[in-house]
Amino acid sequence: MAPSSFDSARVVRKVRGRAASDGAGVKLTRVIGGPDLPDLDPFLLLDEFGTDRAEDYIAGFPDHPHRGFETVTYMLDGRMRHRDNHGNEGLLVPGSVQWMTAGRGLVHSEMPEQEEGRMRGFQLWVNLPAREKMTEPRYQEFPPARIPVARPAAGVEVKVVAGEVEAADGSRVRGPIEQPTTSPMYLDVALEPGAQWEHRLPEGHNAFAYAFEGEASLGSGGDARTLESHELAVLGGGDLLRIAAGPDGARMLLVAGRPLREPVARHGPFVMNTRQEVMQAFVDYQEGRF
Ligand code: FE2
């Protein structure tokens, strides 16, 4: 075994999402947050939505609350309008990212702004530590033109939403999202057929890859495992991740975050540290304090 393989990242386990329905009946695939992978600290939920059938998404996500964590919406296709009870409103278009810190609480809707055509994207929930759960709500929202693109290797294109990627010339490309506590990395990685890339994951973070087009091999040497479309790989071992695309290329989310290592008490849209805090969230919501 070469010395370098000691710090190679490898696939610890693979998970396939399960069909679920949320909001007013939107059909989606729950990858994190279901029985197979309840969470991956600091990540609480990953939903993939993707359909050409309007009846699968048209009902949208009418008014609902959140408290105690962040929701990250990344659109691939389609248009979604969000509005909250603090007067914030915005339109997500293909390639947009919305990193919403719900903090102490808000009530919002997320509704499709189209009646036909394709709707595709992801929602990720990122936990907040106890000391930040009751912060003021905050939005970091960026249209596609504000998401930098790195080309770190031949045939590899990376949209850097959060975190850093080292480009082929050694320069670093940094995403626009600021979140010092969990220090997230959120990359949309596209590889042409047969393309290869080695990327160093942030040290000490929990990390996963979720393939959504094609397939790729993850890991080095005898540890390499194939990740098919709509499979999530929990990554472990060292920090240096080797990705090699299959014959049809691949596209995947590559996500990492610093774990919080705090107790999690969650019920629906409220994620706190204790059951009592969750009960308080229900009371505050019902009494209009969001
Ligand atoms: Fe929401």
| pLDDT (average), residues 150-163 | 98
Determine which of 6-10, 112-116, 163-167, 283-287 has the lowest per-residue pLDDT on average.
6-10
Please indicate whether residue 5 or residue 25 has the higher confidence score (pLDDT).
Answer: 25
Q: Taking 60 as the threshold, does the pLDDT of residue 2 lie above it? A: no
Give the rounded percent of residues in the chain with a pLDDT score beyond 70.
98
pTM comes to 0.96
Q: What is d(CA 29, CA 183) in angstroms, rounded to the nearest whole number?
A: 26
Same fold, 17-144 and 147-257: yes
**SS3 (DSSP) at 204:** coil
Q: Write the CATH number of the domain with boundaries 147-257.
A: 2.60.120.10
| Band of pLDDT at residue 3, cut at 50, 70 and 90 | very low
Average pLDDT, rounded, for the chain: 96
User: Residue ranges of the domains in the chain?
Assistant: 17-144, 147-257
CA of 72 to the centre of ligand 1 (A): 9
CA of 112 to the centre of ligand 1 (A): 13
pLDDT of 168-189, one tens digit each? 888 999 999 999 999 999 999 9
| pLDDT (average), residues 22-42 | 95
CA of 7 to the centre of ligand 1 (A): 38
CA of 132 to the centre of ligand 1 (A): 18
pLDDT of 104-152, one tens digit each? 999 999 999 999 999 999 999 999 999 999 999 999 999 999 999 999 9
With beta carbons less than 8 A apart as the criterion, state whether 252 and 189 touch. Answer: yes
CA of 108 to the centre of ligand 1 (A): 6
CA of 91 to the centre of ligand 1 (A): 14
CA of 71 to the centre of ligand 1 (A): 7
- Which segments of 60-170 are extended strands (E)? 61-66, 69-77, 80-84, 89-92, 97-101, 106-112, 119-127, 138-142, 149-153, 156-162, 164-166
pLDDT of 220-270, one tens digit each? 989 999 999 999 999 999 999 999 999 999 999 999 999 999 999 999 999
CA of 73 to the centre of ligand 1 (A): 9
Q: What is d(CA 48, CA 146) in angstroms, rounded to the nearest whole number?
A: 23
Give domain 17-144's CATH number out of 2.40.50.100, 3.40.250.10, 2.60.120.10, 1.10.8.50: 2.60.120.10
In angstroms, how far is CA 78 from the centroid of its own chain? 18
CA of 62 to the centre of ligand 1 (A): 9
Give the rounded percent of residues in the chain with a pLDDT score beyond 90.
94
CA of 278 to the centre of ligand 1 (A): 17
CA of 233 to the centre of ligand 1 (A): 25
pLDDT of residue 158: 98
CA of 66 to the centre of ligand 1 (A): 7
Residues 6+ apart with CB under 8 A from 126: 42, 43, 44, 69, 70, 71, 72, 179, 182, 184, 257
pLDDT of 78-88, one tens digit each? 999 999 999 99
Q: Taking 70 as the threshold, does the pLDDT of residue 5 lie above it? A: no
pLDDT of residue 168: 85
